[in-house]
Amino acid sequence: MSEITTRIDGVAGRITLTRPKALNALSYDMAMAIEQALIDWQDDDRVALVILEAEGEKAFCAGGDVAELYQRGKAGDYDYARTFWRDEYRMNAKVATYAKPVVSFLHGFVMGGGVGIGCHVAHRVVCESAKIAMPECAIGLVPDVGGSLLLSRAPGRLGEFMGLTGHRMGPGDAIHCGFADHFVPADAWDALKAALCRDGDPGVVAKAAEAAPEAPLAGADWVEDCFSGDVAQALNCVTDDRAAQALRAGSPLSMACTLALVRRMRDEQPSVPEALELEYRFTARSMERGDFLEGVRAALIDKDRTPTWKHAPGAVSDEEVAAMLAPLGEDRLKWEEWA
């Protein structure tokens, strides 16, 4: 069975992830198929807008398919992962800067790579089942695919909180934190998609939207105090058991670099392509100098949930963070690759 389908339906280009048994985890071929569809349709007058959607009830896209990255990396092939991330990020940049309107329908798990596909577009629809998160610190990465930029735009210190803990946002919180725009109940999605395909007018999305569900994070005043400093401060402050457990379990290097990234994004407010270039500085180094291989092993391969990180909690120096986020020189992501 195909992992993805792309087709023209009425006046809409439809990109459908069709890998539900794997929670629509994004493979390299899927990422490249999305990019190719966008290239094919950008000058096609038959296509007025693009719809991003996924089959299955459980997930829009639960993240990137990292199993092959792990196997290649364990064998000493770090370039494969760098190629994967470089090309995926180029696709993310195309989605974010596409000249035609893009509407994403986000249901179930929307994590990591799913955020990179569906959360940078102009019209982001969530339903009752949406669970959106950036849980990369748990596997030795940082929130990437432009996720650190989205986190930086969340109110107050919610970006730091979600980036460090991988907190799952329901539909109300996703809208409150800027990862989604409109709440439309799932049973109204087929009619909304039909209208988009028929008329090519993204304005019908706002007309179909209903009041968003409650956003619990809007009242989480403790986040501001607990996540204004470093990871140690957060651990000493939080009383939420799930957040505390995530802070203890994540890669110390990844969490320290995540704080640096989110705060730099907040200060500089780069474009999505510029944010991707900054994130790539970490991911390009994450196998050789970071915790990615050990994080994937513990979470997804052996599933023992007991990673041995390179650093003890609180033992990451500012110099080590700076080294992970330093410019890559000729190995950087290059603007011409995204043109």
Q: Token pair of 32, please?
A: 């490249």
**Can you tell me whether residue 321 is helix, strand or coil?**
helix
CB distance 74 to 295 below 8 Å: no
Region class of 141: left (phi > 0), else alpha (psi between -120 and 50), else beta: beta
User: What pLDDT score does 338 carry?
Assistant: 60
Distance CA 219, CA 216 (A): 6
- Extract the runs of DSSP E, i.e. beta strands, from 97-167: 102-106, 109-111, 123-126, 131-133
Where does 238-291 have alpha helices with state H? 241-249, 252-268, 272-283
CB distance 291 to 251 below 8 Å: yes
CB distance 37 to 6 below 8 Å: yes
Distance CA 244, CA 71 (A): 31
Catalytic residues: 64, 113, 136, 144
Distance CA 335, CA 277 (A): 9
Distance CA 311, CA 42 (A): 46
User: What pLDDT score does 33 carry?
Assistant: 97
What are the pLDDT tens digits along the chain (339 aa)? 579 999 999 999 999 999 999 999 999 999 999 999 999 999 999 999 999 999 999 999 999 989 889 999 999 999 999 999 999 999 999 999 999 999 999 999 999 999 999 999 999 999 999 999 999 999 999 999 999 999 999 999 999 999 999 999 999 999 999 999 999 999 999 999 999 999 999 999 999 999 999 999 999 999 999 999 999 999 999 999 999 999 999 999 999 999 999 999 999 999 999 999 999 999 999 999 999 999 999 999 999 999 999 999 889 999 999 999 999 999 998 866 665
CB distance 183 to 212 below 8 Å: yes
Distance CA 38, CA 95 (A): 8
Q: Token pair of 234, please?
A: 């957060």
User: What pLDDT score does 2 carry?
Assistant: 79
User: What pLDDT score does 67 carry?
Assistant: 87
Question: Domains of the chain, with CATH numbers?
Answer: 4-338 (3.90.226.10)
Distance CA 252, CA 267 (A): 23
User: Which of the 8 DSSP states describes residue 155?
Assistant: S
Burial of 226 (0-12, 13-18, 19+ CB in 10 A): buried
User: What pLDDT score does 339 carry?
Assistant: 58
**Considering the entire predicted model, what is its pTM?**
0.96
